[in-house]
Chains A and B, each alone.
Chain A
Amino acid sequence: AQSVTQLGSHVSVSEGALVLLRCNYSSSVPPYLFWYVQYPNQGLQLLLKYTTGATLVKGINGFEAEFKKSETSFHLTKPSAHMSDAAEYFCAVTQRSGANNLFFGTGTRLTVIP
Chain B
Amino acid sequence: NAGVTQTPKFQVLKTGQSMTLQCAQDMNHNSMYWYRQDPGMGLRLIYYSASEGTTDKGEVPNGYNVSRLNKREFSLRLESAAPSQTSVYFCASRPGEPQNTQYFGPGTRLTVL
Residues of A with Cβ closer than 8 Å to B? 4, 9, 32, 34, 36, 42-46, 49, 51, 90, 94, 97, 99-102, 104-107
Contacts and interface: CB of A to CB of B under 8 A. Distances in A.
Which of A43, A51, A90, A105 counts the most B-chain CB atoms under 10 A from its CB?
A43
13 contacts: A34-B101, A42-B106, A43-B104, A46-B101, A90-B42, A90-B43, A99-B50, A99-B56, A100-B31, A101-B45, A104-B42, A106-B41, A106-B42
Which of B48, B50, B101 counts the most A-chain CB atoms under 10 A from its CB?
B101
- Chain B interface SS verdict (over half): strand
B43 A43 contact: no
Nearest to B45: A101
Contact of A44 (B48, B56, B94, B104): B104
Contacts, number: 53
The 4 closest A-B pairs by CB, nearest first: A104-B42, A43-B104, A44-B104, A104-B43
Given A32-B100, A90-B43, A105-B42, A100 B106 contact: no
Given A34-B101, A45-B104, A101-B45, 13 more contacts: A4-B42, A43-B4, A43-B90, A43-B105, A43-B106, A44-B90, A51-B100, A90-B42, A99-B31, A99-B56, A102-B43, A104-B42, A105-B42
Contacts of A107: 40, 42
B81 to A, nearest CB: 22
A109 to B, nearest CB: 10
Interface string B49-78: 010000010100000000000000000000
